[in-house]
Amino acid sequence: MGKATGFMDYERCDNPATDPLERIKTFSEFHAPLDEEARRTQASRCMDCGVPFCQYGKVICGTVSGCPLNNLCPDWNDLLYKGFWDEAAGRLMQTNPFPEFTSRVCPALCEKACTCGLNGDPVTVKENEYAIIEKAYESGYMKPMIPKTRSGKKIAVVGSGPAGLSTAHWLNRRGHNVTVYERADRAGGLLMYGIPNMKLEKRFIERRIDLMKAEGVEFVFNTNIGVDITAEELKNSYDAVVLACGSRNPRDINAPGREGDGIYFAVDFLTATTKSILKSNMTDGDYISAKYKNVVIIGGGDTGNDCVGTSLRHGCKSVTQLEMMPPMPKERAENNPWPQWPKVLKTDYGQEEAIAVFGHDPRIYETTVKSFVRDDDGKLTGVETVKIDWQKGEDGRMKMNLIEGSEKVIPAELVLIAAGFLGPEKYISESFGVETDNRSNIKTENGSHQTSDEKVFAAGDVRRGQSLVVWGLREGRDCAEEVDRFLMGYTNML
């Protein structure tokens, strides 16, 4: 342990963020890193505690506590504090294949379980991770690691999101020949087209993809497996196939007035904006525009927040975010103690920006859509909402009751549905003839990634449902290990 009293000597200091009114003028990332001395000081706050819940990654009372990747946070925090940057990067990447992604978009489960956070502010684990990986690229440490020998085994990975890239990374490091198929024009899946540029600039994804290509991973874009290439063709050409296609079937809102222009799924809205940024820096006008419009976003999660931030950057007239559930408490409840995941109210960057622009929080809680309002020409003009009263039923479950007389019409020329996803698109499982569960996810046995077809495996959201990037990386790692054992009869990957 580098500095035994660091957690008592120094206060937490976060990377400063650009003022909300300034940062909404661009789609660039908006946090400035601390200098090296200050970052090492922040690393010294790590207690190297006897039971580091930061790397635990297990379920406690229904929610995961600590990092699902079991990142060795105390180890690389100590190395960072001592100035051993390359060694810290090596230790970090023993468990995490893509720290440049998680250090930008992960909600930092590690920090929520940090022992320092029990009676104060947790260690800046996420920002320390960011500093380590960016320093590794800057210093030239991040060079292609090409396997010295190849197994001769060929694996196809369908989908290039977090789970697909993670699977490909580990299998390639093992010496297998990996080809990643992606139906979009670029790699990354939700990293590329589901997460806005201000959270994850796409040049960082391209940087990693270039590195993976140099290491021997092949990428095939604009190719839809099950349509352009049949499942049988793929299975006949490879020793194993990994389905990592994500959970891309969006949940719809079936209310009167749903048919017609002006209503879009959030993923389509975010994708169109990112594509326009990449093609022309938004000058082509080829995107779903929120400019000068009253925007209503249905859904209070991270995707809804991303839609708020994106709409503001478009120049919307107003933005409202509807949330069915009541707001979380501002502080931990007594029945939600550390190191459980804190079920508390979070005001994210998009909401912060909306407050700065319009003077109030865009979120309206315990509210749902009753109908979409259209004029005589069918043009969207508003959203009729109704308040919800949640009551516990006889079975102990909370039940939703609509409050009569609470109806209200919110002006809207653009509605974005960010209500989550119902599972993978059906043609994937149908093409490969694999079983699905009652949520339409591809079915595997507990603790396994092998589907009902022994040659076909599944990883990420396509198997577990919509989840975090860090879970996609963990799924890919575990799936790769299982595929390796299937092909070789044993595994020594991890």
In the prediction, which pLDDT does 254 show? 94
pLDDT tens-place string over residues 26-63: 999 999 999 999 999 999 999 888 889 999 999 999 88
pTM of the model: 0.96
- Alpha-carbon dihedral of residues 466, 467, 473, 476, nearest 10 degrees? -40
* Token pair in block for residue 444: 């595997």
For residue 469, the SS3 value is helix
In single-letter form, the type of residue at position 456 comes to V
Question: Residue 386: what residue type?
Answer: V
CA distances from residue 57 to 54, 117, 132, 333, 471 in whole angstroms, order as listed: 8, 17, 21, 22, 10
**Mean residue pLDDT across the chain:** 96
Q: How many CB atoms lie within 10 A of CB 242?
A: 31
What are the tens digits of pLDDT across the range 177-198? Answer: 999 999 999 999 999 999 999 9
Q: Please enumerate in sequence order all residues whose Cβ is within 8 A of that of 367, keeping only pairs 6 or more positions apart, or say none.
A: 322, 323, 324, 385, 386, 387, 388
Which tokens hold the place of 225?
Answer: 């497996």
How does pLDDT run across 201-248, given as a tens digit for each residue? 999 999 999 999 999 999 999 999 999 999 999 999 999 999 999 998
DSSP 158-194: E--SHHHHHHHHHHHHHT-EEEEE-SSSSS-THHHHT
> What confidence tens digit (pLDDT) does each residue in 388-414 have?
999 988 888 889 999 999 999 999 999
**Is residue 237 classed as helix, strand or coil in its secondary structure?**
helix
> How would you classify residue 359: left for phi > 0, otherwise alpha for psi between -120 and 50, otherwise beta?
left
Is the sign of the CA dihedral 322, 199, 31, 329 positive or negative? Answer: positive
The share of the chain scoring above pLDDT 70, in percent, equals 99
Rounded Cα gap, residues 32 and 130, in angstroms = 11
Residue 1 has pLDDT above 70, yes or no: no
Q: For the chain, percent helix, then strand, then coil, each to nearest 5?
A: 35, 15, 50
Q: Using the structure block, give the residue that is written with the tokens 């694996």.
A: 155
Asked, as a colleague might, if the bond just before 122 is cis with ω within 30 of 0, I would say no
Write out pLDDT tens, residues 460-476.
999 999 999 999 999 99
C-alpha distance from residue 175 to each of 95, 485, 490 (Å): 18, 13, 14
Q: How confident is the model at residue 3 (pLDDT cuts 50, 70, 90)?
A: confident
Q: Could you tell me which residues come within 8 angstroms of residue 300 by beta carbon, excluding any fewer than 6 positions away? A: 321, 322, 323, 324, 325, 363, 365
Q: Alpha helices of 317-373 — where are they, by DSSP H? A: 349-358
- How many of the other CB atoms lie within 10 Å of CB of 176? 24
Report whether 451 contacts 243 (CB < 8 A). yes
Dist. CA 44–CA 471, nearest whole Å: 28
- Select from 71, 178, 102, 92 the least CA-distant residue to 142: 92
**Three-state secondary-structure class, residue 256:** coil
- Tens digit of each residue's pLDDT (9 = 90 or more) over 120-174: 999 999 999 999 999 999 999 999 999 999 999 999 999 999 999 999 999 999 9
Question: What pLDDT is recorded for position 253?
Answer: 96
Residue 2 has pLDDT above 80, yes or no: no
Statement: residue 494 has pLDDT above 80: no
Question: What pLDDT, in 10s, does the model give residues 250-298?
Answer: 999 999 999 999 999 999 999 999 999 999 999 999 999 999 999 999 9
Domains of the chain: 6-139 (1.10.1060.10), 154-248+422-488 (3.50.50.60), 263-417 (3.50.50.60)
Average pLDDT over residues 359-383: 97
